[in-house]
Structure 1
Amino acid sequence: MSLQNLIFLIIFALSISTFLFNARRLLTYLKIGKPEDRFDNPTERLKRVFTIAFGQKKLLREFVAGWMHFFIFWGFVILLTAILDAILEGLFSVNLSVIGGFYRYIAFFQDLMGLLVILSIIIALYRRYIQRPKRLQVEKTSKIDATVILLLIFFIMLTMFGTYATQINLGDAEYYDLRFVSLEFAKIFDGFGWDAQSSLHSIFWWVHILLVLGFLNYLPFSKHLHIITSIPNVYLSSLKPQGRLNPISFENIENVEKFGALDVDDLTWKQIFDGYTCTECGRCTAACPANITGKPLSPREIIVSIRKRAFEKAPILLNLKPQNEDVLGKTLLFNYITEDELWACTTCMACVQECPVMIEHVQTIIDMRRYLVLTESKFPSELSITFRNLENNFTPWAFSHSTRGDWAQGLDIKTLAEDSNVEYLLWVGCAGSFDARYKKVAISVAKLLKIAGVSFGILGNEEKCTGDPARRAGNEYLAQMLIQENIQTFSKYNVKKIITICPHCFNTLKNEYPDFGGNYEVYHHVQFLEKLLIEGRLKISKKLDAKITYHDSCYLGRYNEIYDAPRDILGSINGVKLLEMKRSRDRGLCCGAGGARMFMEEKIGKRINIERTEEALSLNPDMIASACPFCMTMLTDGVKAKDVIDKVSVKDVAEILLEVVEGGETVA
């Protein structure tokens, strides 16, 4: 073994040992988190890794930034062979060319991807320093960190080309004819003698390998730790329906000191790992309706704060550092994350949808809301009224529970108490039961079901709120009380199939009731109405000349991926011209009412519903269609605020369909 080989072996061993030590340190920090099983169904998890991590499915939603990152990622994957070349040369004075002719193709792709990575780095630096999109405008330390990483990658690529170029000139490069970039680099050093070429080769090789090893050991201290953790984080992402929150157990409640998350050690190990994995790309914050309209919430900063707090507190909790009262006297909530940030969230899931590494922001926000509500009894004053109404009237509003079924008077609809021998329960929800405007939607749905000959009944005053507003507001105890009472009612009447009129009810009944023993076949009314149209049980017989734009409900769309059904219904009506807003389908902008925001005042920044209404009105529609009571209320308020209520109507898909089907009529 030569002296160079020996020196390299020592440096390499030290670098790998240091990296493994720091990696072990980070894994040890996860021990402060609560347990959580994220290792079930490995087949499905591997599918996600191939489509999201390797296929870069989410990153490619943005064309320029997506392809830029795609080439950097795959460049690194393919250029691991170049790093292996350098390591083999350092240890044994050989490289991968010993495998034979196949190395020709490795050589070609090394050069191709190296070139694409360099171009991507230049674009990345241009975006960060010249173009400066809002989501990349981060604090100075993060900006410097990103720049250091980009420059490290840039010089790793340049020194790789320098190594291969001088190797070509020395006549030591096997199968170099396909190295189209390295060959051009080689021309730069053509006039150098053999000794100079040999010295340059050693310089390029040493700088290259030292940059690689330095890069590797810098990662555990950088926001680019995600290079190591992103693939595992995608593998470990939740396989539950996107709309399902983790429940709290209230067994032995008298022995529990606090509920929810106050500090980083109240989170699960996976939530802390999310903090490790955040790329700080800002896609979540750029899509957040609260942030867009000037609220203090930044989903990115929520997750970054978890990482900072974990790095600060974990070493002390694990006795890796001495006790520090300044550190232990702080908490994640209050010192890092404010109450205003948490209450600004509409739980629309845009942040989760856009995150390229599958971070789960909303669950973490709800866990901290749970602490505020259940442990501290700290929440916006408006929620006091909402919680009290839910406890006393089983609805967020101050309506008498005894009048819950009054909307159906004169429609000849029986309650299950009168006749439980029906196929479907029509779950009307609080808005359909009490809101004057949405009662018309409930009536429209009921009339359509009767026209189609569907066997259904309602619960009347036995129906109670599904618990969604309480749950999203952090009042898990109240939510579970309502959930259990409804499940008992369903069991009494042997309910198996449910049609809902509200996406929030739909999501809760379909995705969350199974955690409490309630398993049902649940349809949202647009799904069911589309089914009736396909089966020919509803027939469209009238024309409607109207330009309509459809607003996607977050709980119907991103939560449950129902995008086509409402559009298919509207598109099947003769004369209707569908107009798509720029932010639609899984990029749709929230109306501002989710996450119990419907029951809170919007005091900071621009109103979200105004932002959404302006986008809809920019298309000059005759009508804005929705399929959610909250969305209808917010959009109607928006249209009124813009003083165009006489020109643009806001209607539910069911109301529009009732106007054009055979036997249908407009609900007055």
Structure 2
Amino acid sequence: MIPTREIYWNIEGHWLMYLLMLVAFAVFGYGVYQKSRYWRLGKQENRFDNIGERIKTVLVHAFGHKRILREAYPGIMHFAIFWGFVIFFLGTLVVALQADLGLEIYHGSLYLGLSFLLDIFGIAAIVGVLMALYRRYILKPERLDTNLDDGISLLLILAILVTGFILEGLRIAATGDPWAAYSPGGWALAAVFSGLATGVQSGLHKFFWWFHLLLAFGFIAYIPYSKLFHIITTPANQFFASLRPKGELDKLDLEDEEAESFGVEKLEDLTWKDLLDTEACTRCGRCQDNCPAYLTQKPLSPKQMIQDLKAHLYEKGRILLPQKQGVDSGAGETEAAVAGEAAGRQLIGEVIEEDAIWSCTTCRSCMEQCPALVEHVPKTIGLRRYLVLMESKFPSEVQLVFRNLENNANPWGVGWANRADWAKELGVKVLSENDSAEILYWVGCAGAFDDRNKKVAAAVVKLLQAAGVNFGILGTEEKCCGESARRIGNEYLYQMLAEENVEIMKNYGVKKIITHCPHCYNTLKNEYPQFGGDFEVVHHTEFIAQLLAAGKLRAGEADVTVTYHDSCYLGRYNDVYLAPRQVLQSIKGLRLVEMERNHERSFCCGAGGGRMWMEETLGSRINEMRTDEAIATGAEWVITNCPFCLTMLEDGLKAREKSENMKVMDIAELLVNLQN
């Protein structure tokens, strides 16, 4: 699609395009400025650290389409449109530099190669746009909500591409370009125009030249006011994505005497990055398609939550911006009254339903699937923090959990003095009796108090003993890690528990910790450093894999078919997918079959985000939906790595009346059974 040096061979007054270009860029710049003013209504947050890593994130996700390509049809579609336009833009830039500034950039074989490349990518972009139109208006997947802007954006792109090829075809037909074969798109169209009179060809070329130009400048001007703005906001959002561990929530400064409230009560409590998220969201629906709450008919759609925040931002921003600048909004009385009423809507309860806030399992599937790297879960936790810390509003059953954590440092409310009873017959020493212990086994509340998960804790101990590992436990000195309290929103209670645990472990000089609960694992590894707890934390599936690889444990044999459930906090939060599968694959005779949703797309059991302690009264049950996926594999055993998942899947099998045909066990239990 690169024309020869005679680019303006029959265009009179082509200099007007420079004026039109200035107008287009002025409209574009004004739109960007206006949008950025709204984002800056949010609180300050530093997202300018580690520039090199941020550039890498953009290269991987924006240019490499890492997440988009996980789905074949939309992935190929978007890849073709994106790269077609990138190459088209670069080619146009080269043309402008040479034709308008007289720079000798391309000639000879370079010219022919670039011409061929532009045509190939231009054709690919047209195919991509047609695929997008077919998908949006013919296939109509549920997750897509189509509006007028979607159609205008796609048709505008298509018109620019098609008119570009028409221009090329007319030029080739009129000039008899001997190198036309290197422009296959234009060459094909040239055959259509070659029979026309020279004057007709010239007239058509003039018309389409100006038409194409106006479309291109219109496209530029339209970008900030349309869905096309994601061309800018999505890479920007990827650049400013959090570089902290995925499982780390921000630490509230509860001693800040100037803080008027804690958590997110209103729009202004969100950060500028939170508000940029709303503009970067393209409404693709990947988050919604992978949200366990949405898929089980809960009043939560991650996509809708972000879109509702965006609408509220522009509603309230119309009032806040003039106030911030100390000027009159210029609106009439009626318009001001309507805007004021919209802006006065409460963020919690009116913009976002309370039931939606409490439906989230914090499984992070929305964030893991989002190509724009929108951060849904931290916003949800921020809303919960306000409800809990400032309003004391939370599901009634959670009150007992908080009381149990305060009084006995565990959600079950069992006396703290009984915390080590599970280990009485196992010969396990506490650190106060074994100061030479190299490793702390963090048992967790489930392992210490839940009858079913005590068996898992015992299995872990037996494996460590069989491998000759020098370890100990904290016994009655161990307290709940506080993970559920934090995810529910009780930051005060979480910090109290965390600080006490860190102090105890530091007093014993703990360096390395093994835990079989992914929730404890994530908290100790990624969040305790906020309180000075810098420990090496290993999940028991990782440690077992290491022991097997070192020959300190034997895998054994089992003529059985199993399916493995990736827990959210081990998988999506900490990217531990390989080690558990290595353990299973090392067992001779064992056959591993994957569920439909596995690895980063694994389906939540429904217990995360403190949901373990809440009644599930809305929609269908998440654990039963996941259980159905396990049953569909035809496996005899379901292997887990998490106390919550084990409980929820066992309950799911009972509900489906399949507990006699299918067993659930932790990976440590499986190994212990095979040791005998």
TM-score, scaled to structure 1: 0.95
Q: How does 1:648-667 map to 2 (within 5 A)?
A: 648-661=662-675, 665=676
1:283-362 alignment to 2 at 5 Å? 283-319=286-322, 321=329, 324-362=339-377
The answer to whether the 8 Å contact 1:83/1:209 transfers is: no
Alignment of 1:236 with 2:236, yes or no, is no
- Tell me which of 450, 456, 475 is aligned to 2:465: 450
Q: 1:173 to 1:482 in 2, by over 3 A?
A: farther
2:435 to 396, 401, 420: 420
Q: Which runs of 5+ in 2 are unaligned?
A: 1-7, 331-335
Query: What SS does the corresponding residue of 1:102 show, helix, strand or coil?
Result: helix
What SS does structure 2 have at the residue aligned with 1:544? coil
Select which of 497, 500, 506 maps to 2:515: 500
Task: Give 1:543 shift.
Answer: 2.4
- Per the TM alignment, residue 213 of structure 1 is displaced from its structure 2 partner at its CA by 1.7
Structure 1 residues 98, 532: CA separation in 2 closer, same or farther (over 3 Å shift)? closer
For the structure 1 residues 345 and 264, does the alpha-carbon distance in structure 2 shift closer, same or farther, using more than 3 Å as the test? same
**For each residue in 1:287-335, what CA deviation from the matched residue of structure 2 results, as whole angstroms up to 9, or x when unmatched?**
1111111111111111122222222223432217357532431233322
Letter in 2 for 1:212: A
Match of 2:85 in 1: 76
Which residue number in structure 2 is paired with residue 27 of structure 1?
36
1:509 aligns with 2:509: no
Give the corresponding residue for 1:210.
Answer: 214
How far is the alpha carbon of 1:3 from its aligned partner? Answer: 6.2
Residues 405, 460 of structure 1: 8 Å contact kept:
yes
Q: Which amino acid aligns with 1:131?
A: L
Query: In structure 1, the residue corresponding to 2:562 is in which secondary structure?
Result: strand
SS in 2 for 1:170: helix
Separation in 2, partners of 1:333, 1:105: 57
Could you say which residue in structure 2 is the equivalent of 1:264?
267
Cα deviation for residue 240 of structure 1 reads 1.2
- Whole-Å separation in 2 of the counterparts to 1:344 and 1:222: 31
Q: Which moved more, 1:559-568 or 1:412-421?
A: 412-421
8 Å Cα contact 2:80-2:127 kept in structure 1: no
Per-residue CA deviations over 1:1-50 (Å, capped at 9, x if unaligned) read 99623432222111111111111222222221111111211222222222
Identify the match of residue 130 of structure 1 among 123, 133, 138.
Answer: 138
The aligned counterpart of 1:592 is 606
After superposition, residues 455-466 of structure 1 pair within 5 angstroms as 455-466=470-481
Is residue 480 of structure 1 aligned with residue 495 of structure 2?
A: yes
Aligned partners of 2:606 and 2:648 also within 8 Å:
yes
CA distance in 1, matches of 2:634, 2:103: 65
Equivalent position SS for 1:498: strand
Residue identity matched to 2:305: I
- Residue 124 of structure 2 aligns with an amino acid whose one-letter code is L
- What is the rounded CA distance, in whole Å, between the counterparts of 1:418 and 1:98 in structure 2? 78
C-alpha separation in 2, matches of 1:213 and 1:365: 40
Shift of 1:438: 0.1
Task: Confirm or deny: 8 A CA contact 2:299 2:359 kept in the other structure.
Answer: yes
Specify the SS of the correspondent of 1:581. Answer: coil
Q: Counterpart of 2:14 in 1: which secondary structure?
A: helix
Deviations 1:345-390 (A, max 9, x none): 1111111111111111111111111111112221111111111111
For the Cα contact (< 8 Å) 1:104–1:176, is it kept in 2? no
Distance 1:207 1:84 in 2: 19
Distance 1:496 1:93 in 2: 65
Query: TM (normalized to structure 2)?
Result: 0.93
- Whether 2:27 is the aligned partner of 1:18: answer yes
Report the equivalent of 2:149: 145
Match of 1:569 among 570, 583, 605: 583
Aligned to 1:225, which of 188, 207, 229? Answer: 229
> How far apart are 1:646 and its partner, in Å?
1.3
Contact 1:549–1:616 under 8 Å retained in 2: yes
Once the two structures are superposed, what CA deviation does each residue of 1:188-215 show, in whole Å capped at 9, x if it has no partner?
2112222221221121121212112222
| 2:44 is the alignment partner of 1:40 | no
Whichever residue aligns with residue 189 of structure 1, its letter is F
SS of the equivalent of 1:186 reads helix
Q: CA offset at residue 585 of structure 1?
A: 0.9
CA contact (8 A) 2:174 2:194 kept: no
Q: Which amino acid aligns with 1:651?
A: M
In the alignment, the residues of structure 2 paired with residue 98 and residue 5 of structure 1 have an alpha-carbon distance, to the nearest angstrom, of 22
SS in 2 for 1:549: strand
Q: Secondary structure at the match of 1:625?
A: strand
**Residue pair 1:107, 1:175 contacting (<8 A) in 2 also:** no
Q: 1:187 to 1:600 in 2, by over 3 A?
A: same
Preserved CA contact (<8 Å) 1:103 1:175 = no
For residue 630 of structure 2, what is the aligned residue in structure 1? 616
Residue 174 of structure 1, CA deviation:
8.3
Provide closer, same or farther for how the CA distance between residues 565 and 93 of structure 1 changes in structure 2, counting only shifts above 3 A: closer
User: Does 2:173 correspond to 1:165?
Assistant: no
Q: Any stretches of 5+ residues in structure 1 without a counterpart?
A: none
Per the alignment, residue 282 of structure 1 pairs with: 285
Tell me, in whole angstroms, the C-alpha distance in 2 between the residues paired with 1:3 and 1:544. 82
Partner amino acid, structure 2, of 1:45: R
Given the superposition, is the C-alpha separation of residues 349 and 242 from structure 1 closer, same or farther in structure 2, using an over 3 Å criterion? same
List per-residue Cα deviations over 1:217-270 (Å, max 9, x = no partner).
Answer: 2221223321111112111111111111111111234x4221111222211111
Gap change, CA 1:96 and 1:381, over 3 Å in 2: farther
Instruction: Find the counterpart in structure 1 of residue 189 from structure 2.
Output: 185
Secondary structure of the corresponding residue to residue 335 of structure 1: coil
CA-based RMSD of the aligned residues comes to 2.0
Identify the residue that residue 419 of structure 2 maps to in structure 1.
404
| Residue 560 (structure 1) aligns with | 574
Structure 2 residue corresponding to 1:434, chosen from 439, 449, 455: 449
Kindly indicate whether the alpha-carbon contact (under 8 Å) linking 1:426 and 1:456 is maintained by their aligned counterparts in 2.
yes
Instruction: Report deviation, 1:482.
Output: 0.9
- Deviation per residue, 1:43-97 (Å, 9 max, x gap): 22222222211111111100111011001110110010354477679x8498988
1:199 counterpart residue number:
203
Cα distance in 2 between the residues matched to 1:419 and 1:445: 18
Amino acid corresponding to residue 639 of structure 2 in structure 1: A
Distance 1:170 1:88 in 2: 24
Q: Is it true that 1:377 corresponds to 2:392 in the alignment?
A: yes
Residue 337 of structure 1: how far off its partner (Å)? 1.2
1:469 CA displacement: 0.2
Cα distance in 2 for residues equivalent to 1:576 and 1:153: 53
Question: Is contact 1:82-1:160 (8 Å) kept?
Answer: no
Deviation at 1:283, TM superposition (A): 0.5
The amino acid that maps onto 2:280 is T
Q: Which residue of 614, 632, 645 corresponds with 1:631?
A: 645
Q: Distance in 2 between matches of 1:100 and 1:327?
A: 61
Match of 1:50 in 2: 59
Whole-angstrom CA distance in 2 between matches of 1:329 and 1:214 = 36
